[in-house]
Structure 1
Amino acid sequence: MHKRLLSAVGFMAAGAVAATVLWTAASALDAATSSDTDTYRQLNLFGDVFDRVRSDYVEKPNEEELIDAAINGMLTSLDPHSSYMNAKRFREMQVQTRGEFGGLGIEVTMENGVVKVVTPIDDTPAEAAGILPGDMITHIDGTQVMGMTLNEAVDQMRGPVNTSIALTVVRDGVAEPFEVKITRDIIRIRSVRWDPEGNIGYIRITTFNEQTQEGLETAIKELSSELGNKLKGYVIDLRNNPGGLLDQAISVSDTLLNQGEIVSTRGRNSEETQRFNAQAGDLIEGKPVVVLINGGSASASEIVAGALQDHKRATIVGTRSFGKGSVQTIIPLGSYGALRLTTARYYTPAGRSIQAQGIDPDIKVEQDVPEAERAKFETKGEASLPGHLQNEDGGEELKGSTSYVPKEKDDDAQLQYALSLLRGEVAMTTDDKKKKAAPSKDAEKTQDTKAQETEEPAPAEE
């Protein structure tokens, strides 16, 4: 009798729970249905507005451009790095990540309604014409840039090879705007360059495209062969490197690490977390490394610097990096182009998010820049971009870091410090050293994971 009572009570409790679950599920379904209904009403509103524009606007509009603008407006309202690429722009992006495209050879962004030069690309028409980081382009062939989108301005600057273009430039320290004439050419991005600096191997990585890992391996092989037993270590220069392909950043880090986590990416849901680990084998056989960063080092550059810093595999020298800690996934849309959508934040091996904060160097070294010109080389960073993602870990968002790199190596204080450090001519003092976080225990337990098909885009390139 007692057992039956317990059974009855158990049945009644189970029934109550089941009823509660059913009621909760039904309520959730009603809420979802109501939400969907509101969404469809909004989509109907968009359709009504679109039809009214088509029929009543004072001039016949380009319907394809209207749709493109509407989609882009939706995506750019999310964060500065999500966008829509129509079929033409998608093809151009694919060409750029292969390391060869047509144009002037400048990386640009939009600031205060005009085009701002992030940096001219090495050995390109823009560099030869004297374009500098921080230059503001106000007119293109006499047409005012104010009122254009960044994509429209880039389209204006593109054109057939061997044709000329005139850019009106405003430069800090120059009283009047001036005109620069440039002849368009095929831009071939050599993402890795190298030179022996005495007994040190100097390797500069300018971007992370499909050729970067191959270029790094070639650089290490040639420097090792040329310097032989004299080789004391390497300087990896990531200054003014705006990023690129995630898988290349992982591969470059793996080249210099023997084990452990390189980076993790975390999306909206916990099951979307991915961790990427180094394979056994260090291509430079444990030789010391100094990595140079500055305010122009962003995205994939910060993944490499953060991984090497957390594992204490390299000393990071320079100024604070840009602070772009988000991952963009390229989602093809068939013949319509592709969606570039921010799908995750990335974290260093110690679990740090550098979104809107950046990587702080172990040793801060400022370049000797005349005070009057300092503003020209001040990079405001991710934290200054409207609508940027917040750092989930909290803490102060940091803006501004210098990005000046002198043309002459003898005048480059950051490079000269790195060379002296590797040669043992200077040592890290207690004040110089910042606490380097060790990788978390969870990171050490994770299994190797293949890189997802994601890209971390650089600023628009022309």
Structure 2
Amino acid sequence: MMSKLFSSAAIAALLAFTAPALVVSPAAARQPLKSETYKQLDLFADVFERVRSEYVEEVTDEQLIEAAIDGMLTSLDPHSSYLNKKNFADMRVQTRGEFGGLGIEVTSENGFVKVISPMDETPAARAGVQPGDYITHLNDEQIVGLSLNEAVEKMRGPVGSDIRITIRRDNVAEPIQLNLTRANIKVQSVRFRAEDNIGYIRISSFNEQTQPGLDRAIARLKEQLGPKLIGYVLDLRNNPGGLLDQAVSVSDTFLEKGRLIVSTRGRGGKEGDRYTAKPGDSADGLPIVVLINGGSASASEIVAGALQDHKRAIILGTQSFGKGSVQTVIPLQGQQSAMRLTTARYYTPSGKSIQQLGISPDIEVQPAKVEELAQAAQRRREADLPNALRNTDQGGTRPGTPAAPAPASPPVPNAPADPGANVTPSTTPTAQPPAPEPVDYQLSRALDLLRGVALFSQAKHTN
């Protein structure tokens, strides 16, 4: 059975980053080659031989052929590409949302690997790794200067294998060495918390862990808030997308039986798949506000579009990215490599294609901070990418009014404080109070909106 995905639209004009777990595509019927095609293949062979024999440096046949295949696919649109053995394996790890590792969220800071947070109930958390720690060595090999991806790849490995990490911690003079055993780590694509009497749910990507995480979040919020719960905020800002089946499942969570979620059309407008909701609304009909911005792409736009068209949620924020195409991952050469090929466009329940256009919020709310707007002015959307598929419903043109610039990344929900920071107060007269935490203006407006809806409903019921 063929699996399909909506790959993420990299906001800095990069290509898609998520893909489905292992997929099997039935062999396509080959069309007979025309005589002109044979001439073009002869041309390719001539160029190939010239490069092999005369290029200034030696290049392997594998390099040349892979580059030729990738060039053919990437010339089609921004989201079709060739995945070699390594990239295909990495893609499957990302979409599964689980891997053998240590359970540390890390970032790069001035060439060092810095711990953002250890994940609960993982080898890193049990060993005492703390937010703010700097990882300097892995198995006594220095990693300072490596790229973040290279460092992460070294920390991952088979479940049950051992690794020794060396960390530096503020206010601790000597380096700390920890021996850890890799375990199966599940990526937390869903985070949640209670905002007074409102459930806040943040979905950062759509992988195989997303729906279980959403179910857990809703159950915990209901348990925590009980009858005080008045609604939900579903935060999809800067969510680049992921698996189609997870986007459908998340939409289904809030829709009643039979509601159309999304449909697809292939070459020439040929009708493709139609996905409808199953019985039951896990939110029990409570009001929902969905937050989107220019970083909300693909699968995020499916969810926002479905809930908007069925008037199940109020969409708040800024224009979304505008990626309305479907990618199918087709394994090649015995599943050692694969091609990611754009095979269809998707349409919201109202029959609208958002390719190049995006989802327009019901209530437009810009971020409050001026510096965020300045950064967002440099962000690109789907319509700005080279060779982007045109929107056939709009004649391939951009919207008449340019979309408002998208905000920079919102603050990460529940981001841990850095316990290693020096918090000793200064005694000098010029000491300034610590800077206040940045206010998430869009989230504040969403919470206010839900409170207003709840008050209106309460007053109407009383009358």
Q: Normalization by structure 1: what TM-score?
A: 0.67
Change (3 A) 1:339 1:260: same
- CA drift at 1:129: 7.8
Whether 2:10 is the aligned partner of 1:41: answer no
- Preserved contact between residue 298 and residue 323 of structure 2 (Cα < 8 Å): yes
Q: Hey, what's the Cα distance between the residues in 2 that align with 1:123 and 1:323?
A: 34
Is the 8 Å Cα contact of residues 239 and 403 (structure 1) preserved in structure 2? no
Equivalent in the alignment of 2:339: 339
The worse-fitting range, judged by mean Cα deviation, of 353-362 and 54-63 is: 54-63
Q: CA contact under 8 A between 2:375 and 2:408: conserved in structure 1?
A: no
Preserved contact between residue 367 and residue 404 of structure 1 (Cα < 8 Å): no
Task: Report SS of the residue matched to 1:84.
Answer: strand
Structure 1 residue runs of 5 or longer lacking an equivalent are 1-31, 109-119, 131-139, 144-152, 165-184, 429-462
In structure 1, distance between residues paired with 2:438 and 2:145: 39
For 1:319, give the aligned amino acid.
T
Residue number in structure 1 paired with 2:213 = 215
User: 2:19: which partner in 1?
Assistant: none
Task: Kindly indicate whether the alpha-carbon contact (under 8 Å) linking 1:75 and 1:82 is maintained by their aligned counterparts in 2.
Answer: yes
Amino acid at match of 2:406: S
2:373–2:406 Cα contact (<8 Å) kept: no
Q: Which residue of 2 is the match for residue 55 of structure 1?
A: 53
Partner of 1:201: 199
Q: What is the CA deviation profile of residues 429-451 of structure 1, one whole-angstrom value per residue up to 9, with x for unaligned ones? A: xxxxxxxxxxxxxxxxxxxxxxx
CA distance in 1, matches of 2:59, 2:287: 61
Q: Deviation of residue 163 (structure 1)?
A: 8.4
Query: What residue in structure 1 maps to residue 293 of structure 2?
Result: 294
- Give the conservation status (yes or no) of the 8 Å contact 2:290–2:313: yes
Q: Distance in 2 between matches of 1:393 and 1:289?
A: 29
Query: In the alignment, residue 287 of structure 2 is paired with which amino acid?
Result: P
Amino acid at match of 1:405: P
| Aligned-pair CA distance for 1:65 | 1.3
Q: Which amino acid is the alignment partner of residue 407 of structure 2?
A: T
CA distance in 1, matches of 2:207, 2:106: 16
Instruction: Give the AA of the match of 2:361.
Output: P
- Give yes or no for contact 2:298–2:324 (8 Å, CA) kept in 1: yes
Residue 441 (structure 2) pairs with residue 422 (structure 1): no
Listed one character per residue, the Cα deviations across residues 138-159 of structure 1 (whole Å, up to 9, x for unaligned) are xx9889xxxxxxxxx9976764
Maintained 8 Å contact 1:421/1:427: no
1:288-332 residue CA offsets vs partner (Å, 9 max, x unmatched): 111000111100000000000000000001111111111100111
- 1:285-324 superposed matches below 5 A: 285-324=284-323
- Work out whether 1:160 is the aligned partner of 2:188: no
The 3 A distance-change label for structure 1 pair 157 and 353 is farther
How far off its partner does 1:267 sit?
0.6
SS of the residue 1:402 aligns to: coil
Quote the residue 1:380 is aligned against.
Answer: 380
Which residue pairs with 1:438 in the alignment?
Answer: none
**What is the CA-CA distance between 1:392 and the residue it aligns to?**
1.1
Match of 1:174 in 2: none
Decide whether aligned partners of structure 1 residues 235 and 244 sit closer, same or farther in structure 2, where only a CA change above 3 A counts: same
Tell me which amino acid in the other structure corresponds to 1:291. V
The TM-score with structure 2 as length reference comes to 0.67
Deviations along 1:91-130, one digit per CA (max 9) or x if unpaired, are 110011111457997999xxxxxxxxxxx998799xx789
The DSSP-based 3-state class of the residue aligned with 1:275 is strand
Q: Secondary structure at the match of 1:393?
A: helix
- Please give the alpha-carbon distance, in whole angstroms, between the structure 2 residues aligned to 1:249 and 1:349: 14
8 Å contact kept, 1:288–1:313: yes
Opposite residue 191 of structure 1, the aligned amino acid is S
Q: Deviations over 1:46-72 (max 9, x none)?
A: 112212222233332122111111100
Pick from 60, 69, 92 the counterpart of residue 71 of structure 1. 69
2:370 aligned partner: 370
Question: Which has more radius of gyration?
Answer: 1
2:398 match: 396
Identity among equivalent pairs (%): 57
Aligned partners of 1:249 and 1:301 also within 8 Å: yes
Give CA-to-partner distance per residue, 1:409-440, whole Å, 9 cap, x none: 87111111111111117999xxxxxxxxxxxx
Which segment drifts farther, 395-404 or 42-51? Answer: 395-404
1:420–1:426 contact (8 Å) kept in structure 2: no
- The residue type equivalent to 2:353 in the other structure is S
In structure 2, the partner of 1:449 is none
Q: CA 1:189 to 1:121, structure 2 compared with 1: closer, same or farther past 3 Å?
A: farther
| Partner in structure 2 of residue 82 of structure 1 | 80
**For residues 238-249 of structure 1, what are the structure 2 equivalents within 5 Å?**
238-249=236-247
Per-residue deviation, 1:188: 5.4
Tell me, what secondary structure is at the counterpart of 1:202?
strand
* 1:194-228 deviation line (CA, Å, top 9, x unaligned): 10111111110000000000110111111111111
Unmatched 5+ stretches in structure 2: 1-30, 109-114, 125-130, 134-142, 156-163, 167-181, 414-436, 457-463
Partner of 1:227: 225
Shift of 1:280: 1.6
Asked if structure 1 preserves the Cα contact closer than 8 Å seen for 2:81 and 2:339, the reply is yes
Query: 1: CA distance between counterparts of 2:219 and 2:87?
Result: 36
Pair 1:188–1:312, CA change in 2 (3 A): same
Q: Give the match for residue 274 of structure 1.
A: 273
Residue of structure 2 in register with 1:411 after alignment: 439
**Conserved in 2, the CA contact under 8 Å of 1:381 and 1:401?**
no
Q: What is the CA–CA distance in structure 2 between the aligned matches of 1:163 and 1:330, rounded to whole Å?
A: 36
Contact 1:191/1:212, CA 8 A, preserved across alignment: yes
Q: Check whether the contact 1:309–1:315 (CA below 8 A) recurs between aligned residues.
A: yes
The CA distance in 1 between the partners of 2:455 and 2:325, in whole Å, is 34
Give the match's secondary structure for 2:68.
helix
1:19-34 correspondence to structure 2 within 5 Å: none
**Could you say what secondary structure the match of 1:424 adopts?**
helix
Q: 1:315 to 1:188 in 2, by over 3 A?
A: same
On the 8 A contact 2:367/2:373 being kept in 1, the answer is no
Distance across 2 between alignment mates of 1:281 and 1:364 = 30
Change (3 A) 1:365 1:287: same
1:162-181 to 2 correspondence within 5 Å? Answer: none
SS at 1:340 equivalent: strand
Deviation at 1:87, TM superposition (A): 1.6
**Contact between 1:201 and 1:231, CA under 8 Å: does it hold in 2?**
yes
Q: 1:103-122 alignment to 2 at 5 Å?
A: none
Does the CA contact (< 8 Å) of 2:106 and 2:117 recur in 1?
no
If each structure's helix is expressed as a fraction of its own residues, which one has the higher value? 1
* 1:76 shift after superposition: 0.5
